[in-house]
Amino acid sequence: MNRVSKGAISFGHKAVRDDAHIRSLPFSGIAGLLALSHWDNVSYTTVRVREAHVKINKVSVIVPTYNEEEAIAGDLEVILETMEASRWEYEVIVVNDGSTDRTAEVVRGFENVKLLEHRENRGGGFARNTGIKAATGDVVMVTDGDGTYPNQDMPKLLEIMENENLDMVVGARTKESGTMRFLRMRAKWFIRKLAEKLSGFSIPDLNSGLRAMKKDVFMPFMDILPWGHSWVSTITLAMLSSGYNVDFVDIDYFPRKGASTFHPIKDTYSYITLVIRTVTWFNPLKVFFPLALLTIATGIVKLIADSIIHNYFRVTGVTIIVLLVGIQLVALGLLADLVVQRVRRP
C-alpha cells in the first residue's frame, strides 16, 4: 500500500476519505481544483490497491422526467420488476423536472418509488444531479423515462461493473430509433469521431442515457457538469480523460414515446463545443497542439510558396502573424498542461 501524507493528493490516484479507510480514486485536471476546495481538512492515510471484484451493496436507480406521462409508467414497471428479481438491494428515484402534464401523478401511483420534484424545468443534467444527491446506494444507475432504453438490461451492466470492478459501465446503443434519424446518425457519428480523436479513446456511444456509476467516483465531477442534455457526454469524456475504468456494453434502443426534444442545429453545435471544451479541460495538449501544428505548417507553406513565386526568400507580414499565432498556441497549450500537471503532483 502507498502512503499519502496529510494535505497531499496524488491526482493520478486521488485519496478520498471513507470512514473506515481511504479509497483510491483516479482524477486529474482542473476539476481536481474544484474537488480540493471541499476537502481542505481531510486526513489522508492509506490508498487501497484496485481489487478484481468488489461487491455492490445497494443500487440507486435515477430516472429524470419531463412531460413523460405516456412512457414513465411502463419504464417504472420494467425497472421495479427487473430490480426486484435481481440480487441487489435497490431504490428507485424519479425526478420530475417541472413537468406540466400528469407525469408526477403517474409516478405517485407507484408505492416503491421516491418522487423528487422541481418547480420549474432545469434540464436533464440538473435532474440527474438532484437524484444522485439523494441516492443512498453506492452505485447509481441512470436511465431515461421516455421508453427508449432496455431497462431490463440493468443487471447486465451491474454484473460487469461488479465482476470487473469498473467505475462506470455505459449502455452503448447499437441502432438509432429517434426522430430525424438521418440527421441524428450523421451528427452523432461526427461528434463521436471528434471526441475519439481529441480524447484518444474508443467511444462506442458518447451520449447514452443508460449507465451505472460508482457514486463516490461521480460526486467530484458534479459541479462541473452541464444542466442539459450534454450531461451524459460530459461525464463520459470526463471519466475517460481522468483515467477511470469505463466499459461499454451493447444495448437495444427503442422509438421514443411522446414528443422529441432534439434540435438538430442547436444540439449539434452544443455537443461539438462541449467535446472541445471538456477535452481541453482535462487534456489541453490534445486540443492546442494539433491547432498549433496546423497553424505553423500553414505559415511554413505560405513562406515557401511566396519564396518560389517571387524567386527569392520572401517573408510577408501575414506569414509572420500566422507563425506567431502558431507559436502562441504552443505556449498556451504548454501553460495549460503545466496547470494540469501541477494539480496532479503529490
The per-residue pLDDT for range 306-345, each reduced to its tens digit, is 999 888 888 899 999 999 999 999 999 888 878 867 765 4
The per-residue pLDDT for range 188-211, each reduced to its tens digit, is 778 788 888 877 888 999 889 999
Of the candidate ranges 13-22, 26-35, 177-186, 300-309, the one whose mean pLDDT is the lowest:
13-22
Q: What integer is the mean pLDDT of 75-101?
A: 97
Supply the DSSP string of 252-291, one letter for each residue.
Answer: ---PPSS-----HHHHHHHHHHHHHHHHHHH-THHHHHHH
Asked if residue 136 has pLDDT above 50, the reply is yes
Q: Which residue has the cell 480540493?
A: 36
Share of the chain above pLDDT 70, in %: 77
Radius of gyration for the chain, computed over Cα atoms and rounded to the nearest angstrom: 23
Q: Where are the domains of the chain?
A: 2-47, 58-282, 285-344
CA distances 48 to 5, 18, 29, 306, Å, are: 14, 12, 22, 61
Regarding predicted confidence, which is higher, 122 or 338?
122
Q: What integer is the mean pLDDT of 222-249?
A: 90
Q: What integer is the mean pLDDT of 123-152?
A: 96
What's the pLDDT score for residue 182? 64
Regarding predicted confidence, which is higher, 169 or 50?
169
**Mean pLDDT over the full length of the chain:** 80
At 264, is the pLDDT very low, low, confident or very high (cuts 50, 70, 90)? low
3-class DSSP state of 206: coil
What's the pLDDT score for residue 23? 32
Report the distance separating Cα 18 and Cα 15, nearest Å: 9
- Which residues are within 8 A (CB) of 330 and not within 5 positions of it... i.e. 6 or more apart? 288, 289, 292, 296
The per-residue pLDDT for range 3-31, each reduced to its tens digit, is 222 233 333 333 333 333 323 333 333 33
Beta bridge partners of 211: 142, 170
Burial class (CB in 10 A: 0-12, 13-18, 19+), 27: buried
What's the pLDDT score for residue 215? 97
Topology, domain 58-282: Spore Coat Polysaccharide Biosynthesis Protein SpsA; Chain A (3.90.550)
What's the pLDDT score for residue 54? 78
Q: Please give the grid coordinates belonging to residue 320.
A: 509572420
